[in-house]
Amino acid sequence: MALFVSIKKKFKEFDLDVKFKTDGKYLGILGASGSGKSLTLKCIAGVETPDEGRIELNGKILFDSKKNINIRPQERKIGYLFQNYALFPNMTVERNIGTGIELSKEDKKTKIKKLINLFHLEGMENKYPSQLSGGQQQRVALARIFAYNPNILMLDEPFSALDCFLKEQLHTEISDLLKLYDGEVLMVSHSRDEIYKFCENLVIIENGKSIHTGNTKEAFKKPKFLTSASLTGCKNITKIEIIDPFNIYAVDWGIYLKIKKKISMHTKYIGIRAHDIKMVQEKNDENIIFCSVVKIVEEMYEFAVFLKANTNIPKGSKKNTRIWMNIKKDEWSDININDEIYIKIPEDSIMLLEK
């Protein structure tokens, strides 16, 4: 069971150039809005045709520009959950679910009934999609796909059309339902939380190009590229100058830092996650920075503290970017704007990034 994708397609806005293969049950595609995530899914489903490349699913070639193979979407058997679910507005729930079933009338009825129960849609059989809530619509769309016995499931921003409150609730509900499916699942999202929660592996897409593929936890822990760091939610990123293999100068902050791992010539930036920065009392340690507090924002479970390093005007950079530190509420000690504090940037929390 595996999906292999390597495709290129020219567009007015950007060129799609995506390459990845699945390895495990869930693969997430992470990228900003308009980066080509949905287009990639559409190419796999066959409703868009790439200019060149190859798509293979479970050993069967779906598309190969060199061999002139392009299987019709109808014959690809791909379960595609569209962002807005694409339920047929002129059909009842029952008929929507039945569209992909090719069985005798009796068997079809039993199958629909089974799916209605499975997806908790009892009593909605004869309603139209517009009469359902967002969550119900999503369940109908999933039931319609399950009815079709697809070879792979592709979910396009499955939670983006729902409001925050529902989202949390549906995360667990959907993941329970997805467990019923034993094939591979491809999930597109711009939300790193969703990808982290659902997917073992991920592909990061930027401007139509797949720039990183690999294990999700790895990618969040040790991103290799500037964009993967910011897409995985790294708040502090600065350009650097290399002093020696273990010492760098963080240009945007105007500070010197020691690093644990030997730096390579390709490293152009570093990133530090906001929760890795700690406020400290002792001053005689490595990577201790004397800063003043610029701004404090209270969030639900933590405080975001914005700091400015108290150094001379940083050379090589006109801006003196703020350092973003998160402090959990139970670790909060009274800090005010303009206070001067010491922070520690742990050596092993510094992520070395390539452009």
Partner 1 sequence: MDWSPFIISLKTASLAIIVTFFIGIFSARYVTNIKSDKIKSIIDGILIVPLVLPPTVVGFILLLTFGVNRPVGRFLLEFLGVKIVFSWIATVIAAVIVSFPLMYRSARGAFEQVDKELIMAGRTLGMSEEKIFWSVVMPNALPGVASGGFLAFARGLGEFGATAMIAGNIANRTRTIPLAIYSEVAAGNIRGAYVYVIVILIVSFILLFIMNYFTYKGKKY
Residue 214 as a binder of partner 1 (CB under 8 A): the answer is: no
235-294: contacts with partner 1 (CB under 8 A): none
Cβ 72 to partner 1, closest distance in Å?
A: 8
Q: Hey, how many other C-beta atoms are within 10 angstroms of the C-beta on 22? A: 21
Shorter beta-carbon distance to partner 1: residue 98 or 223: 98
For residue 186, the cross-strand partners are 27, 154
**232: nearest Cα among 264, 169, 190:** 190
Residue 130 as a binder of partner 1 (CB under 8 A): the answer is: yes
143-162: contacts with partner 1 (CB under 8 A): 144-145, 148
Separation of alpha carbons 80 and 67, rounded Å: 26
Residue 72 as a binder of partner 1 (CB under 8 A): the answer is: yes
Shorter beta-carbon distance to partner 1: residue 78 or 205: 78
DSSP 149: -
Q: Which position has the token pair 């790193």?
A: 192
Using the rule CB under 8 A, which residue among 59, 66, 102, 282 binds partner 1? 102
Residues 6+ apart with CB under 8 A from 291: 307, 308, 309, 310, 323, 340, 341, 342, 343
Cβ 16 to partner 1, closest distance in Å?
A: 17
Residue 45 as a binder of partner 1 (CB under 8 A): the answer is: yes
The side-by-side arrangement of strands in the sheet containing 201-206 is 69-70, 60-64, 52-57, 3-10, 15-21, 209-215, 201-206, 26-30, 184-189, 152-156, 78-81
x/- contact string, 298-337, with partner 1 (CB under 8 A)? ----------------------------------------
Binding site for partner 1 (CB under 8 A): 42, 45-47, 72-80, 82, 84, 86-91, 99-100, 102, 128-130, 144-145, 148
